[in-house]
Amino acid sequence: MHVLRIFPDCSSSFATRSVLIRKLPRCTNSYLSSGQLVRRYHENATLKDAAAVVVGAGPAGIAVVGNLLEEVKDDGKIVWVDEQFQGGRINKFYREVPGNTAVKLFVDYAEALKPFRHILNTAHKPNAITELEKLPQSGTCSLSYAGDMLNLLTAGLRQHPRIQTVEGKATSAHLDLESKRWTLTTNSQPSSIIAPLVVYCTGAFPSTTPLPSSSPPIIPLDTALTPSILSTTIPRDQPFTIGVIGGSHSAILVLMNLYRLATTSHPLLKIKWFTRHPTLRYAVQKDGYIQYDNTGLKGKAAEFGRTQLDGDVLLTSEAGKFITRIDCSGGKEQEWTLLEKELKDCQGVVQAVGYTPAPVPEVSIGDDKPLVKLEKDARTGAFYVEGEKQKPIGLFGAGIAFPEEVVTPEGEREYAVGMWKFMKYLRKVVPEWVEASKA
Ligand SMILES: Cc1cc2nc3c(=O)[nH]c(=O)nc-3n(C[C@H](O)[C@H](O)[C@H](O)COP(=O)(O)OP(=O)(O)OC[C@H]3O[C@@H](n4cnc5c(N)ncnc54)[C@H](O)[C@@H]3O)c2cc1C
């Protein structure tokens, strides 16, 4: 179950809302290149007749918009808000990351919906999808291929007559209980959009945890996942020891990148690997399903883990010449002591300790109870007011921030994260969302 914590400062959101309702002109000052001051007045525009608003244009937002185009009838307009419309984090930060899912699943994602197929059929060839189709379909590929495919779909969707895009940030959402309409506020134009259905696909960013004060500077995980930037961040001609904290997919990819640097351009590089799990977990193909599909290592990370890092393998592997494992399995106190001791002589540290949902636009409901605690049903994707699960409010979430909860055949609960998994899930739930928003 996801809990969405709603803003502590309700007064500011009230103020914003009353301004929006009265549609006060906003005044901004800017300079022309000639240096002449120009005063501009922008009328805050409200878009009143949207069928749905989607916040976020990563893989989840793209899939939600495509599904809504199929499910919302009567030519209802779908408003789509993002600051960049660049395929989300996969395209922005992970283009040099090896994919962990089969190429075929990226193709399946791109071909899953009628509006997507129309975009592919009318796009000039060769294009991102023809490039994907050329690759061995059961193998994996660089995420740059997926990024290009997401860009192709985004560009096509932005041309669709029923889609209106807003380049900006969604800042708040308010539900009017009488009309059952949301007003989504943006920092752009239109500055507010009224619709019965709102979907948050706002993504997640690398988590960080407190480190001892003696720790070296942090090298961001996004940098460590991008070899071309990582190689210029770490000096080549002087000894450099880097700490890597974490034991799951991203941490193994970082270790793989660092090992490659150490064996090529950065011979003076050493790595201290802080992990709570000296042995690794892999996704395993079983009869008709993949065990540890959402938690185990896959693709190149699995291969590197198995051959270079796992348990005793590290003691004799090539990577073991550069990587020293610091066993943090003895509990939090011991882990802190080890971090204090071992990070002292490092010159940089990478934290690969998971991903945190991005802050969502503030939510308020009704005039008498603006501050509400929302929870989310991780099966249906619907948010609801705490304790009122039966009452749909027309607010939903998807993607890495709000994934579907699944139960594995072994009875373990996992979150289903991956582009094809988002698509499969959305095919199932978006018709229910549209139906619920009519009530
Ligand atoms: C290292 C790594 C490797 C992965 N590899 C794979 C893989 O091989 N295959 C696979 O299928 N999946 C993979 N995934 C999982 C998943 O597909 C990605 O994490 C994907 O980026 C999640 O998509 P998303 O749309 O949920 O979020 P994001 O890609 O983070 O997109 C969120 C979007 O919302 C926008 N946004 C946020 N807040 C606002 C706001 N208030 N207003 C307007 N816009 C907003 C952001 O700007 C962004 O564009 C990987 C994940 C990671 C971390």
- Give residue-wise pLDDT tens across range 368-427: 656 677 899 999 999 998 888 888 899 999 999 999 999 988 888 999 999 999 999 999
Helices (DSSP H) in 160-213: which residue ranges?
none
pLDDT beyond 70 at 365: yes
What average pLDDT does the segment 61-89 reach? 96
Q: Which atom of ligand 1 is nearest to the CA of 186?
A: 42
Q: Which atom of ligand 1 is nearest to the CA of 171?
A: 41
Range scoring the smallest mean pLDDT among 120-129, 166-175, 294-303, 384-393: 384-393
Distance 296 CA to ligand 1 centre (A): 19
Among protein residues, the one whose CA lies closest to atom 39 of ligand 1: 202
What is the model's pLDDT at position 15? Answer: 23
Confidence tier at 74 by pLDDT (50, 70, 90):
confident
The span from the CA of 190 to the CA of 199, in Å, is: 17
Confidence tier at 287 by pLDDT (50, 70, 90):
confident
For residue 2, CA distances in Å to 51, 132, 357, 377, 381 come to: 25, 35, 10, 7, 10
Pocket of ligand 1 (CB under 6 A): 55-61, 81-84, 88-90, 94, 97, 99-101, 143, 169-170, 201-204, 225, 250, 355, 358, 361, 399-401, 417-419
Distance 59 CA to ligand 1 centre (A): 6
What is the model's pLDDT at position 390? Answer: 80
β partners of residue 112: none
The span from the CA of 301 to the CA of 229, in Å, is: 19
What average pLDDT does the segment 19-45 reach? 36
Distance 419 CA to ligand 1 centre (A): 9
Q: Considering the domain 2-99+163-205+357-438 in this protein, what is its CATH number?
A: 3.50.50.60
Distance 60 CA to ligand 1 centre (A): 7
Best CA proximity match to 66, nearest among 158, 178, 203: 158
**Is the CATH number 3.50.50 carried by domain 210-353?**
yes
pLDDT beyond 60 at 306: yes
Domain 2-99+163-205+357-438 and domain 210-353 have a common topology: yes
Percent of the chain having pLDDT more than 70?
A: 89
What is the model's pLDDT at position 371? Answer: 64
Which residue of 165, 189, 400, 426 sits with most ligand 1 atoms within 8 Å of its CB, as the best mutation to test the pocket? 400
The span from the CA of 103 to the CA of 134, in Å, is: 10
- Give residue-wise pLDDT tens across range 219-275: 999 999 999 999 999 999 999 999 999 999 999 999 999 999 999 999 999 999 999
Among protein residues, the one whose CA lies closest to atom 15 of ligand 1: 418
The span from the CA of 438 to the CA of 433, in Å, is: 9
What is the model's pLDDT at position 262? Answer: 98
Instruction: Give the domain ranges of the chain.
Output: 2-99+163-205+357-438, 210-353
Distance 105 CA to ligand 1 centre (A): 16
